[in-house]
Structure 1
């Protein structure tokens, strides 16, 4: 049976008895008992398939809207500094953990040793994934590795465990999974390689989180990330997807209907035949759903095609659109609309639709043919883990430990640059001349590897754009102030007629006062001060009435624990500042 169909059916079956549970002390899966299940490989597979519902849906691509990566018509509470303590919910949910632990307490009833090893690893992977998400959101959490009897008050009211204890348990689960799971290349299934990719991610996250908060012992987590990354780099079937077509390979990786398993280690499956879709086309092309756009500071951070820095030139913020996007890192033209852009499967060149993006820089990543523009109809498989992230993790962990070499860069980060015909990053040049533009965003980076770390952060933000990493990167780098910088968009020199496609035809008209007569079909008309606002430097200002934002260093890196949970468990303390 087609795996996408199998996964879909299994998820539905699982939801019949799992989706309504809300609390840790609920009875697990009443339809499944040790006496009537856990006998065959199929039983183990069916049960663990239900855990795949833990993966995000649309937040894979719009999770960056919490941050300075994707700017919408309404800023997120995280960006505004207006998060509140919820009464309930808020991410403090434990239903999956009880189901995972129930499985781990019973799966060894099966006589199929190979199945027990593999699916035991799958369950441990998901327990690690579950706890890593909790750790990122709340910091310290109570660790449970068994199901809890509803009458066991001591367990149900235990305090939060030490942060490093929880991380060590996560890595312990992942090491078990890596040792026992199948080493198959399965783009829709958890395998040994998925566990290695998660270990690479967890180790880098915790190592840098602790380093930038002066916590002793951070080095072992960076070393764990390096070890897992090296295994994937040296002994796995994965590589940076590169057919030699620098003009299209990056975009093709994300707008392919089926996940490209050359690079993508694990993807979330979508299917037109099964009516399983998401809404990325609608999200990025319509004027009625957020109007997401890339901010100018990120556009500015893309290097020129020769590897030089765009921001080293004078007046880089006052360069007209067609000139500013010319001769830049090819990932820019494969992430936003630039001159020459056309929709997949079409040849008509399109200008940015300023009605669909508040910054003027209209996002194209993941976008496919117009037939999928209806809300909920996009069918591109979405990456959950990919080799491109792993090589970035490797380079960053090495840089943070001061063990990075040029050879390390050439076997990791520079593979990503090679895909788009960018010059390789030189470790010596980067450290001899750190970029002040990137350095301004991360003032707490210093030391002999400062230049390399800044370049790796530039590369990470560009390469992993719209893949839901930016918030977690800001948190682990202790770089919250980056979210308070002014948000601006495209430079437009005031009212006038503009050609944004460089084809000699006017496609945007800005005006003041009365709307022009004799409107021409195909031309966009916007009233300055009403349809869009320009600041004193003629940069689009997406939120002219909300430009002063704050980030509280003492509380905003973590989310608050819901009030009801503090009442249910008096041994759980609220996060600092909340």
Structure 2
């Protein structure tokens, strides 16, 4: 039971939909009048929070993000989400404005004492509940801004509670800080990738305070105070975990350590703090293999700007090379940061269980940069058959949170970089990040993307953002990163893939064999090759004259700077509760 986060309580609490889902009593086999009489009953109730509130591969609306299926400018699909086309609409209901998970947490916090369990025994379960309330509200604030704060379940007769308006995010986030600090102080310190502990709470605090601090810093239009206070809290929480926690960056050899962390069939306790756990023996799976190898899920691939962001193996900038944007696949992937070849198929790629060298399969990727992160052995390629764990919190993120918070505060030192970014680069066999050099010559390629970054630390902030995007790809961070940095305009740029000078035969891995044929007119005959017809199967920037692959070139992309940094509230809830007000310009 301890190995599985989420199957224990699936049938225990069945909540039906009604106004805000706030006045429903959780239905369970535990009688409300006799509940929480034993420690096991406390534990069972608290375990239900993991399934309902933590992300997996496909519950974005409930958990605010989904793991590995990022839909931003990191991973490109054949279709475009409404968030990318500007065709977002106000939902009638749902859309993330859901409160039943909070109702369950508050119900527990109000009632856990009724069975007479001693405070010493109940303490860690109370701390877990307050961790999840902090987690819930931090995500709601990130999504909607101001939200109603509820510290107890709302009863059916409580008209004031049911028609409560939105509290300011400053009030809500101060309450969230009280919850997460309680969790940090009272959760156990033992390592467990299946249940939250003190270190998980510190990781969450570093994450949510970094979001809030940078959001307040860059979104001056909201006139929010205390950006530095939240950034300081982020750095302090991350620093406590780095200095005192039991986790480390997992290392083996630079050519495989990063990949091994994600396609392993068991949680790596060295670095993973908390994970969604899956199991072949229990028949609990996700779908990452099928997602990356079949054409059924939009043929996902990395976007070209992300691929261009990877440094050379010696630490120099790929984008400083003359003509970098017109290099063929073999040349552009040669001698790069080893994490690139552990994230996508590059020359020499073999499956985890395979002996054959495989080029990118254009039936599985629309950009030519085919994903391999999280991909396990070929027998798991069937729909919904991937059994490997998906990390929710890991030490690598905490290192990045620490470096970014310190850089945004202006207090970053070389010693700070050495105990954060350097450890991630050491794993990949890459040179560390030099503070003085980064600030002396900021990367123009990155500066053109991140237009809000200014000041003395511009260069190192840009480099930390490079590191974050590369290290955390497919782990569900990119959307929130762009929102807090006020860089939503990047979502409206044309998505691109690999470069081809025009029709012809292409040896992608330089082994003397043609892997891909781009053609016009009638398809040629060449056994073993892949075929793409220009203008039909693939679009190039300049048509038959060549260029980078362009994805959905005829579909306009838009991001409304005056509206899209916050999500809309559903119309049904606005009608049911006249004290709720819609977000600006929705």
TM range (shorter): over 0.9
Task: Give the Cα separation in 2 of the matches to 1:43 and 1:335.
Answer: 43
Task: Give the Cα separation in 2 of the matches to 1:252 and 1:355.
Answer: 25
Q: Does 1:425 align with 2:433?
A: yes
CA contact (8 A) 2:12 2:28 kept: no
- The equivalences for 1:311-326 within 5 A come to 311-326=319-334
111-120 or 341-350, which deviates more: 111-120
**Residues 1:560 and 1:307: Cα distance change in structure 2 (over 3 Å):** same
Q: Does 1:155 align with 2:155?
A: no
Q: 1:386 aligns with which of 386, 394, 400?
A: 394
Residue equivalent to 1:540 = 549
Residue equivalent to 1:278 = 286
Tell me the TM-score normalized by structure 1.
Answer: 0.96
Q: Aligned pair count?
A: 570
CA contact (8 A) 2:494 2:551 kept: no
Q: 1:143 aligns with which of 145, 149, 156?
A: 149
Q: What SS is found at the alignment partner of 1:490?
A: strand
Gaps of 5+ in 2: 59-65
Residue equivalent to 1:32 = 30
Q: 2:518 aligns with which of 505, 510, 524?
A: 510
Q: Does 1:47 align with 2:45?
A: yes
Q: 2:76 aligns with which of 68, 71, 76?
A: 71
- The equivalences for 1:2-41 within 5 A come to 2-5=1-4, 7-15=5-13, 17-18=14-15, 23-29=21-27, 31-41=29-39
Task: Give the Cα separation in 1 of the matches to 2:167 and 2:17.
Answer: 28
Q: What SS is found at the alignment partner of 1:525?
A: strand
Q: Post-superposition shift, 1:20?
A: 6.5
Q: 1:166 aligns with which of 172, 179, 182?
A: 172
Residue equivalent to 2:339 = 331
- The equivalences for 1:151-230 within 5 A come to 151-214=157-220, 215-230=224-239
Residue equivalent to 1:118 = 124
Q: What SS is found at the alignment partner of 1:363?
A: coil
- The equivalences for 1:398-413 within 5 A come to 398-413=406-421
**Residues 1:9 and 1:535: Cα distance change in structure 2 (over 3 Å):** closer
Q: Post-superposition shift, 1:526?
A: 1.4
Residue equivalent to 1:300 = 308
343-352 or 52-61, which deviates more: 52-61
CA contact (8 A) 1:62 1:70 kept: no
Q: Post-superposition shift, 1:97?
A: 0.9
Q: Post-superposition shift, 1:376?
A: 0.8
CA contact (8 A) 2:6 2:48 kept: no
CA RMSD of aligned residues (A): 1.4
Tell me the TM-score normalized by structure 2.
Answer: 0.95
**Residues 1:287 and 1:48: Cα distance change in structure 2 (over 3 Å):** same
300-309 or 106-115, which deviates more: 106-115
Task: Give the Cα separation in 2 of the matches to 1:63 and 1:442.
Answer: 23
Moved over 6 A (4+): 19-22
Task: Give the Cα separation in 1 of the matches to 2:355 and 2:493.
Answer: 38
Task: Give the Cα separation in 2 of the matches to 1:153 and 1:19.
Answer: 19
Q: Post-superposition shift, 1:133?
A: 1.5
Residue equivalent to 2:61 = none
Q: Post-superposition shift, 1:62?
A: 3.9
Q: Does 1:98 align with 2:107?
A: no
Residue equivalent to 2:62 = none
Q: What SS is found at the alignment partner of 1:224?
A: helix
Task: Give the Cα separation in 1 of the matches to 2:117 and 2:97.
Answer: 36
- The equivalences for 1:331-350 within 5 A come to 331-350=339-358
Q: What SS is found at the alignment partner of 1:177?
A: helix
Q: Post-superposition shift, 1:11?
A: 2.6
Task: Give the Cα separation in 2 of the matches to 1:378 and 1:20.
Answer: 32
Q: What SS is found at the alignment partner of 1:491?
A: strand
Residue equivalent to 2:499 = 491
Q: Post-superposition shift, 1:145?
A: 0.3
Q: Post-superposition shift, 1:31?
A: 4.1
Residue equivalent to 1:529 = 535
532-541 or 315-324, which deviates more: 532-541
Q: What SS is found at the alignment partner of 1:483?
A: helix
Q: Post-superposition shift, 1:111?
A: 2.6
**Residues 1:217 and 1:20: Cα distance change in structure 2 (over 3 Å):** closer
Q: What's the CA shift string for 1:282-333, capped at 9, x where partnerless?
A: 0000012210000111100000011111111221110010000000000000
Residue equivalent to 1:242 = 251
Q: Post-superposition shift, 1:213?
A: 1.9
Q: What's the CA shift string for 1:182-234, capped at 9, x where partnerless?
A: 11100111111111110000110000000012332111101111111011100
Q: What's the CA shift string for 1:162-188, capped at 9, x where partnerless?
A: 111111111110100111111110011
Task: Give the Cα separation in 1 of the matches to 2:15 and 2:570.
Answer: 22
Residue equivalent to 1:560 = 568
**Residues 1:19 and 1:118: Cα distance change in structure 2 (over 3 Å):** farther
